[in-house]
Structure 1
Amino acid sequence: MSSSPYKWGVVLIACMAIFIIVLDSSAMNVAISTLVVELNTSLSVIQSIIALYALIIASFMLLGSKIQDILGRRKTFLIGLIIYASGTITATLSINAGMLLLGWAVLEGIGAAMILPATTTLVGASYKGKDKVTAFGIWGGIAAVGAAVGPIVGGVFTTYLSWRLVFGSELVFVVIILLFRHYLTESKPTLKWKDLDIVGALLSIVSLILIVLGILLLTKPQNWEYVSVLIGSGAVLFVVFLWWERRRIKKGMEPLSDISLLKNRVFGLGNLNSVIQQIPLAGFLFIIPVFLQQVTKLSAFDTGLALLPASITILVFSLIGAKLSSSLESKYIIMVGFLIAAGGTYILGGVFNINTQIIDLVPGTVVFGVGVGLLLSQLTNITMSAAGDDQETDASGLLNCFKNLGYSLGTALIGVLLLLGIFGGLTSGIETAGVASNMSTQEIQEGLIGYVEKMQTGTPSIPPELVPYSAQIIDSSISSAMKQTFTVLSLILLLGFITSIFLPSKKKAG
């Protein structure tokens, strides 16, 4: 491969695959209002679909990683790509939210869970020495670029063409990958289907889905009675999954994943910090567009433009952070990253009101981007460094599983906190307005919540005399809820700082 003029064929294919997967995670957040209107759905439903896309990837990641050992990495990659392509077609042609859920969250999610681990092993097996370092650098850089340009790509397509083209354009990449699939090398299967840990796969998938669904149900008070059941059941099943995997390892049977890795202090804390870092990032990318499109009435393109400073800063400082690691310990860069990101969310918490403009967000989003960029540059490397060569596949599967779980939890948890904050703010807003009406405060509140769920499109189901006050009541409630939610984001990032203190230094780790 190294002597071929096309020696970078494998990494270019891997980069195209990772690019379209990452693009989905960030491009569609700016299209929330358009999706609500065109698919006749609600904000909570779109939030659920975004969260479930990352959740399905996380839930099926360990299974997708293990299937490589049965089918071979090339075949696993190509099957995942076909499933992903069927998802993009379904999402492109969606006529309702259910179809978008099936195409984007389910089919694309399962496809991505097979593609992501395979790209890691394909790149790792195709290069040696400096070429390997370069290949993984390119691969990681393209993933960062995909996340950075996602909001602008989504904004351009949604505002000037159609959000469907975000998905439709991905088929071009799929076709190119299939045309150049001969560059991909196959690996010899080391397991048979009978060796697959089906019970472990089911336990891991069901447990994670129950936990996130429980959080998503918090948006509606009438569903709160089911929340503790779902989250509790999910937590119990996850503990059972860990016990089951440990039992299989002790018996000398093939586990779904080598969870003994989690006992390693660096690997365990690295994954914990990855989850903590992903929660504010996902929450930030979800609630900022909700605020901008509801309160400041920005288009999808302008929303993407507002997120651009953060995107560029994250990309630049992930590259700077990688250079810094040659002179500074990763542990300290991670600690500083959490503190700077927390400073960014603290600054942002003070800028939200009904008169907020894009320019007001720039200082906070840039500071946040610096912190997140530094974190992204270190967490993968420090976590993977704890795994031996024979554990790389399992380590990569677990890390990607936890990272996507963090992203899903961020969209679900932070989105729920925002909606609950809005819900609480509406009550005092209605009472302050003091307009007499034949509807109770609760009925008016429900009408306004329904209007928020529709991204303030159409007409609110409230008395006509209250309609002139509705926008101000809602916008004030959203602004107040944004401040509270960003306070929570700051606390989560400070928690990350505290947990990163316990990462061993190089001297101790060595």
Structure 2
Amino acid sequence: MTTVAAPTTTGRPVLIPLALAQFICSFAGSSMNVMINDISTDLDTTVQGVQVVITVFLLVMAALMIPGGKLTDRWGRKRCLMAGLATYGVGAVLSAAAPGLGVLILGNSILEGVGTALLIPPVYILTTLLFTGTAARARAFGTIMAFGGIGAAAGPLIGGLLTTAIDWRANFGFQALIVALILFLTRKLEDPLPADPTRPFDTVGAVLSAAGLVLLVTGILAADNNTWLMIALLVAGAAVLAGFFRWIRGLERAGREPLLATRLFRSHTSNLGLVTQNAQWLVLMGVSFTVGAYLQVVRGYSAIATGGVFTSATLGLLATSLSAERLAKRHAQRTLIVAGFAVTTVGIVVLLLLVRAVDSVWAFTPGLLLIGLGIGLMLTPSVNIVQSAFPDSLQGEISGLSRSISNLGSSLGTAAAGTILVSELTRNSYAAAMGALALCGVIGLCAALFLPRDRAA
């Protein structure tokens, strides 16, 4: 049995680069929402073209996160982290110099997506291994999820500032600089578990899982153009994923190691936690794209004005996510998740009603503030519930699965809400997209209600 080496790097020194890694990956997914008009004009493309760039980036992350988590056992957590950062940095530089949409997709969607899939699982594995106990992990995950949530919520604001002051390409230069800083800060990081180069890797399982997820999200993107194509892609995606589960069960029966252990899906608590994670990021990224596109295309707001609107969401998310340790000591994790979904769903409804009734930028503030408060309230307990449900030997697999489910939610949110919105950019399509996101919030709330009742830490 492999034992965890006593970590030589603990506390703030290791937590800062891990949190920054989550920040920049979340920032990349949302900052482009305020650059829609600028990128469309500069690269001679459309709103749908920019939506594809954003969605493919999120989809590549979701499709490769499970294989990325598995590779941490074979290559080691630090090596995967460094390789992911290097790949991401190359993608950011290439995106900054992109002469057209194709190169932007290669740099941002593909290379940054692959880099994220390699670097994010080690972030969560290292956090789980280096911080023990519910309160300590809540504090560590709270910091990481706060940075991730802030990256997603503040992405439009920072992106708007950079786009207005310099150019949309400066956003990718900013990402490259942050990646260089993380590489510098992690140079002395030590892996608490030794790498195992002899660990088998399930290539067939990796291909099947990635293909199934790609087909599902592509099907949603096709909804606006061809209903029958959408149905065909969704059915094909479901069939491929069913084949994936049959494959990994077959490997286990044969005594071989699959990409994912089927026992990961036998935990009732973990399964519900994964559903809540998916719903959280679906709502957050869906709202970010919907509001960003609506403000720029329908109301004609600039990048900086659009980013400024999201300040209230950033402040709300910061307030609750940074209080994760204190909240975990006072309230059960189930309570926090239920309350988070309730507040978030109310925020979406407020955002929808006020924006339709009041023709002012301030109409967005109350709803976005509530959404930020709600998302920040439940991000940390959802991650903690899932990660803590399994032993150290399964942290590579569950971290990859957890991040894959979360990023799948992000890509589904951008694809579904974006498809509804860009079909006809009007108040009615905005209302339809926000209504769909509110429904997803209710689904997440229902899943949270079935979580087992636990105690405060």
1:219 aligns with 2:167: no
Deviation at 1:386, TM superposition (A): 1.9
Deviation at 1:132, TM superposition (A): 6.3
1:179 to 1:419, Cα distance in 2 relative to 1, 3 A? closer
Match runs of 1:347-426 below 5 Å = 347-353=350-356, 356-420=359-423, 422=424
Q: 2:181 aligns with which of 176, 179, 186?
A: 176
CA contact (8 A) 2:152 2:285 kept: no
1:495 to 1:133, Cα distance in 2 relative to 1, 3 A? closer
Deviation at 1:484, TM superposition (A): 2.4
Match runs of 1:56-71 below 5 Å = 56-71=60-75
Deviates more, 1:203-212 or 1:120-129: 120-129
Q: 2:159 aligns with which of 131, 154, 158?
A: 154
- Letter of the 1:32 counterpart: I
Over the matched positions of the two proteins, sequence identity in percent amounts to 30
Q: 2:441 aligns with which of 476, 493, 498?
A: 493
Match runs of 1:225-240 below 5 Å = 225-240=228-243
CA contact (8 A) 1:349 1:483 kept: yes
Deviation at 1:206, TM superposition (A): 0.6
Q: 1:253 aligns with which of 252, 256, 261?
A: 256
Deviates more, 1:316-325 or 1:298-307: 316-325
Deviation at 1:161, TM superposition (A): 0.4
Alpha-carbon distance between aligned partners in 1 of 2:385 and 2:9, rounded to the nearest angstrom? 33
Match runs of 1:229-378 below 5 Å = 229-320=232-323, 322-353=325-356, 356-378=359-381
Q: SS of the counterpart of 2:354?
A: coil
- Letter of the 1:234 counterpart: G
Deviation at 1:184, TM superposition (A): 2.0
Alpha-carbon distance between aligned partners in 2 of 1:419 and 1:164, rounded to the nearest angstrom? 24
Alpha-carbon distance between aligned partners in 2 of 1:45 and 1:232, rounded to the nearest angstrom? 25
Alpha-carbon distance between aligned partners in 2 of 1:138 and 1:132, rounded to the nearest angstrom? 10
Deviations 1:247-302, CA, capped at 9 Å, x for gaps:
22232211112232112110011111211222221110001011111232111011
Deviation at 1:12, TM superposition (A): 2.7
How many residue pairs match? The answer is: 449
Deviations 1:4-28, CA, capped at 9 Å, x for gaps:
8997433333233222212111211
Q: 1:209 aligns with which of 210, 214, 217?
A: 214
Gaps of at least 5 residues in structure 1 are 423-451, 453-477
- Letter of the 1:405 counterpart: L
Deviation at 1:370, TM superposition (A): 2.3
Is the radius of gyration larger for structure 1 or structure 2? 1
Q: 2:194 aligns with which of 188, 201, 216?
A: 188
TM-score normalised by L of structure 1: 0.82
1:135 to 1:339, Cα distance in 2 relative to 1, 3 A? closer
- How large is the RMSD of aligned CA atoms in angstroms? 2.4
Deviation at 1:181, TM superposition (A): 4.2
Q: SS of the counterpart of 1:167?
A: helix
Deviations 1:70-89, CA, capped at 9 Å, x for gaps:
22222222221221111111
CA contact (8 A) 1:330 1:378 kept: yes
Deviations 1:154-190, CA, capped at 9 Å, x for gaps:
0011111011111112222333333444312244222
Q: Which residue matches 1:449?
A: none
Deviations 1:446-482, CA, capped at 9 Å, x for gaps:
xxxxxx6xxxxxxxxxxxxxxxxxxxxxxxxx11221
TM-score normalised by L of structure 2: 0.91
Gaps of at least 5 residues in structure 2 are none
1:490 to 1:127, Cα distance in 2 relative to 1, 3 A? closer
Deviation at 1:227, TM superposition (A): 1.4
CA contact (8 A) 1:216 1:413 kept: yes
1:3 to 1:360, Cα distance in 2 relative to 1, 3 A? closer
- Letter of the 2:255 counterpart: G
Deviation at 1:226, TM superposition (A): 1.7
Deviates more, 1:288-297 or 1:90-99: 288-297
1:72 aligns with 2:76: yes
1:363 to 1:131, Cα distance in 2 relative to 1, 3 A? closer
Alpha-carbon distance between aligned partners in 2 of 1:127 and 1:58, rounded to the nearest angstrom? 26
Q: SS of the counterpart of 1:348?
A: helix
Q: SS of the counterpart of 1:252?
A: coil
1:109 aligns with 2:57: no
Deviation at 1:504, TM superposition (A): 1.7
Deviates more, 1:36-45 or 1:131-140: 131-140
1:165 aligns with 2:170: yes
